[in-house]
């Protein structure tokens, strides 16, 4: 079965009394309460995983689903569980284990939103870091659905505060994540304690051997559903990478943030310490930034996510673990400031954007040494990740001008002042114009300068982020490496009797020395070994050729195309 994109339609008119048109969900045999709730949320048609999983789960079968966040898997298990629930039984009937508190909260919220018309149905999220007594209090009052992280669920079970004697179903959500985070023993322990008559559902984005083993051991002839990596979903996310040296990363990040017009951005860093350094540096440059890492207390994390959701903060710097499962529709840009640990982490990270049918952008920072990971990541997402340049001064400046202009247009179009304030301002403008005997335009300019608040309008700093990526043909010997075995980063001197040419194709066009040698040898008839050093830089390359090339041969070279792009060869002076 293949996955197509989820075209979630939100904001439908909510006639809570009678669903006007029977939705695609009515075929599952859900009661009117669930259908009303789905109609109000705006789910019209089931997603592929829902179409495949719901009928199986309604029959009470165990199920293994290979699907990622964003496919609608939460509703795929939550709806049939709710449909089978007995509201009069106050003991937990459904237990969902999730790897992180954020995911646990989201799943609990989803249950709540679907169960809004089911009287007496209660859901509780239990996770570490939150008040234990409070959770016990809620458990005692009676809940039918518990969504929790494995450790805290285990604690409650051991203490006898979570009674699973009436449990009908267990869901393992993002099982591979629980394995990655070292929870798998806890998960097995929980599985061992459950009543023998129960339904088990396991969802995982990937199926490592260990997860397969669990599913074989604890699930009973499960239905198996695979939603392939989300070609359509990840297709909504434009993925690019840029190559930048470690020390230049922060400057490159600031440029990317300025140049990309994003509603909200999440920046992934490898460690807690890096999240802080990045956030501090961005703050110094006037960004309103929030940090999400394992040191941030739970209450504050929830506040931060809420602020992000409401648009009170636009940039979040996070570690993988802290941001797992984060579902905020406003996030339109994901920056992989540090390369992810593996391709699964990459897929999870970029999945923070492109939510709910929106499109998104993902930018991956790679140091020259990390470029070797690119192929693996491209394979994981099933498509090429496009190269991009660190935004130039010109791009950034154009953006700044555009933004200022659009602010000015908006302000001129609709005043946000009270009429009496506006009258005072108008009087002030007239008085200053009279006093200084200057034009309205001169005053408007002065007002715009005030808006800039002393910050230069145009960026004029160093913008050279380019660097050679690969040693030349003439540098194949180990002598070309320095004492640390690294490739030299400086352009190399020209040998005698050779002339240097520039080609407008570089590392970012994926050009290799072999492509250049092949093309030139073909066109000029030069033997491969007569072609000298080739140096590949970010956006261009150089090639050294014997001096005295006849003009007609040079003209032929100028017409050449390599990798389907024009070579645009030119002589380098000096």
Q: Which is closer to ligand AMP, CB of 69 or CB of 144?
A: 69
Q: Which stretch binds ligand AMP (CB under 6 A): 63-71, 245-253, 450-458, 559-567?
A: 63-71
| Residue 318 backbone phi and psi in degrees, to 5 | -140, 160
CB closer to ligand AMP out of 72 and 391 = 72
Nearest to ligand AMP of 107, 164 (CB atom): 107
Nearer to ligand AMP, 28 or 501 (CB): 28
- Check if the beta carbon of residue 325 is closer than 8 Å to that of residue 350: no
Residue 389: strand pairing partners: none
Which lies closer to ligand AMP via its Cβ, residue 6 or residue 244?
Answer: 6
Regarding 8 and contact with ligand AMP (CB under 6 A), the answer is yes
Interface residue with ligand AMP among 356, 424, 452, 458 (CB under 6 A) is 356
Q: Which stretch binds ligand AMP (CB under 6 A): 44-52, 419-427, 469-477, 543-551?
A: 44-52
Residue 570 bridge partners (DSSP): 502
Rank residues 50 and 542 by Cβ distance to ligand AMP and give the closer one.
50
HSE-up (13 A, CA, CB side) for residue 228: 8
Cβ nearer to ligand AMP, comparing 358 with 502: 358
What are 290's strand-pairing partners?
316
Place of tokens 């979630």: 8
Q: Which is closer to ligand AMP, CB of 356 or CB of 563?
A: 356
Nearest to 113 by CA among 26, 38, 24: 38
- Residue 48 as a binder of ligand AMP (CB under 6 A): the answer is no
Q: Binding to ligand AMP (CB under 6 A): which residues in 450-469?
A: none
Distance CA 54, CA 364 (A): 37
Pairing of strands 199-204, 169-172: parallel
Interface of this chain with ligand AMP, residues 296 to 325, rule: CB under 6 A? none
Least distance CB 542 / ligand AMP (angstroms): 49
Question: Which of 30, 43, 114, 218 touches ligand AMP by CB under 6 A?
Answer: 43
Q: Could you tell me the two tokens for 25? A: 């969900």
Between residues 106 and 243, which has the closer beta carbon with respect to ligand AMP? 106
Evaluate whether 84 touches 52 at the Cβ level (below 8 Å). no
Binder to ligand AMP among 3, 47, 293, 336 (CB under 6 A)?
47
| Interface with ligand AMP in residues 64-93 (CB under 6 A) | 69-75
DSSP class of residue 312 equals S
Residue 423 CB: number of other CB atoms within 10 A? Answer: 11
- Closer CB to ligand AMP, 74 or 135, in the complex: 74
Beta strands per DSSP E along 152-282: 169-172, 199-204, 223-226, 237-243, 264-268
405, exposed or middle or buried, with CB in 10 Å at 0-12, 13-18, 19+?
exposed
Q: How far is the CB of 65 from ligand AMP (least distance, A)?
A: 11
Q: Which is nearer to ligand AMP, 9 or 277 (CB)?
A: 9
Sign (positive or negative) of CA dihedral 481, 486, 489, 490: negative
Q: Which stretch binds ligand AMP (CB under 6 A): 40-48, 373-381, 478-486, 496-504?
A: 40-48
Within 10 A of 248 (CB to CB), how many other CB atoms are there? 17
Phi (first) and psi of residue 353, to 5 degrees:
-110, 180
Alpha helices per DSSP H over 337-464: 343-350, 374-381, 393-413, 419-436, 440-452
Tell whether residue 123 is a contact of ligand AMP (CB under 6 A): no
Minimum CB separation of residue 513 from ligand AMP in Å reads 45
Window contacting ligand AMP (CB under 6 A); options: 39-47, 56-64, 211-219, 246-254: 39-47
| Closest separation in Å from C-beta 75 to ligand AMP | 5
Judged by beta carbon, residue 38 or residue 381, the one nearer ligand AMP is 38
47-51 contact pairs (CB < 8 A, 24+): 47/6, 47/71, 47/72, 47/75, 47/76, 48/1, 48/2, 48/3, 48/4, 48/227, 49/3, 49/73, 49/76, 49/225, 49/227, 50/75, 50/76, 50/79
Residue 341 beta carbon to ligand AMP: minimum distance, rounded to whole angstroms: 22
Query: 79 near 34, Cβ under 8 Å?
Result: yes
Q: Does 105 bind ligand AMP (CB under 6 A)?
A: no
Regarding 243 and contact with ligand AMP (CB under 6 A), the answer is no
> In the complex, which residue's CB is closest to ligand AMP?
8
Smallest gap from residue 26 Cβ to ligand AMP (A) = 13
**Residues contacting ligand AMP: total by CB under 6 A:** 14
Q: Assess 19 for contact with ligand AMP (CB under 6 A).
A: no
Name the strand (E) or helix (H) holding 318: strand 315-318
- For binding to ligand AMP (CB under 6 A), which residues are involved? 6, 8, 43, 46-47, 50, 69-75, 356
């Amino acid at each position: 079965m293949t996955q197509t994109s989820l075209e979630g339609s939100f904001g439908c008119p909510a006639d809570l009394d009678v669903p006007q048109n029977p939705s695609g969900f009515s075929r599952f045999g859900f009661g009117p309460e669930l259908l009303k709730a789905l109609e109000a949320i705006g789910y019209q048609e089931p997603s592929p995983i829902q179409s495949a999983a719901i009928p199986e789960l309604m029959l009470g079968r165990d199920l293994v689903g290979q699907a990622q966040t964003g496919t609608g898997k939460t509703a795929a298990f939550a709806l049939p569980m709710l449909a089978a629930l007995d509201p009069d039984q106050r003991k937990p009937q459904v237990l969902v284990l999730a790897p992180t508190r954020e995911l646990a909260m989201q799943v609990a919220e989803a249950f709540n939103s679907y169960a809004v018309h089911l009287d007496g149905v209660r859901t509780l999220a239990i996770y570490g870091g939150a008040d234990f007594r409070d959770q016990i209090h809620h458990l005692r009052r009676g809940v039918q659905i518990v969504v929790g992280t494995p450790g805290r669920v285990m604690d409650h079970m051991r203490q006898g505060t979570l009674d699973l004697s009436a449990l009908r179903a267990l869901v393992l959500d993002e099982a591979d994540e629980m394995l990655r985070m070292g929870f798998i023993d806890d998960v097995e322990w929980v599985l061992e304690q459950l009543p023998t008559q129960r339904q088990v559902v396991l969802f995982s984005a990937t199926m490592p051997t260990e997860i397969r083993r669990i599913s074989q051991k604890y699930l009973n002839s499960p239905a198996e559903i695979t939603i392939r990596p989300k070609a359509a979903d990840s297709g909504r996310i434009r993925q690019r990478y840029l190559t930048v040296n470690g020390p230049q990363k922060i400057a490159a990040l600031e440029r990317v943030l300025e140049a990309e017009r994003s509603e909200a951005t999440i920046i992934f860093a490898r460690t807690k310490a890096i999240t802080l350094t990045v956030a501090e540096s961005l703050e110094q440059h006037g960004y309103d930034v929030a940090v999400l890492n394992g040191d941030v207390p739970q209450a504050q994390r929830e506040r931060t996510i809420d602020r992000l959701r409401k648009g009170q903060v636009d940039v979040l710097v996070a570690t993988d673990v802290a941001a797992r499962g984060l579902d905020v529709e406003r996030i339109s840009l994901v920056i992989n400031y540090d390369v992810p640990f593996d391709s699964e982490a990459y897929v999870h990270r970029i999945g923070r954007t492109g939510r709910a049918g929106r499109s998104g952008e993902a930018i991956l920072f790679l140091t020259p040494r990390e470029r070797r990971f690119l192929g693996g990541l491209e394979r994981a997402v099933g498509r090429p990740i496009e190269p991009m340049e660190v935004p130039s001064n010109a791009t950034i400046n154009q953006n700044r001008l555009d933004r200022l202009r659009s602010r000015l247009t908006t302000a001129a179009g609709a005043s946000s002042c009270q009429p009496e304030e506006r009258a005072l301002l108008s009087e002030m403008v007239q008085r200053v114009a009279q006093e200084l005997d200057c034009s309205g335009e001169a005053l408007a300019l002065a007002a715009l300068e005030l808006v800039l608040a002393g910050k230069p309008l145009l960026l004029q700093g160093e913008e050279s982020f380019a660097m050679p990526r690969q040693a030349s043909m003439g540098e194949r010997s180990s002598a070309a490496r320095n004492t640390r075995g690294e490739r030299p980063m400086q352009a190399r001197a020209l040998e005698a009797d050779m002339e240097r040419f520039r080609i407008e194709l570089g590392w970012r066009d994926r050009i290799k020395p072999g492509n250049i040698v092949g093309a030139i040898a073909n066109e000029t008839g030069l033997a491969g070994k007569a072609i000298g050093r080739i140096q590949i830089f970010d956006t261009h390359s150089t090639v050294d050729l014997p001096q005295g090339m006849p003009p007609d041969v040079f003209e032929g070279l100028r017409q050449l195309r390599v990798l389907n792009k024009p070579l645009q060869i030119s002589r380098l002076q000096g």
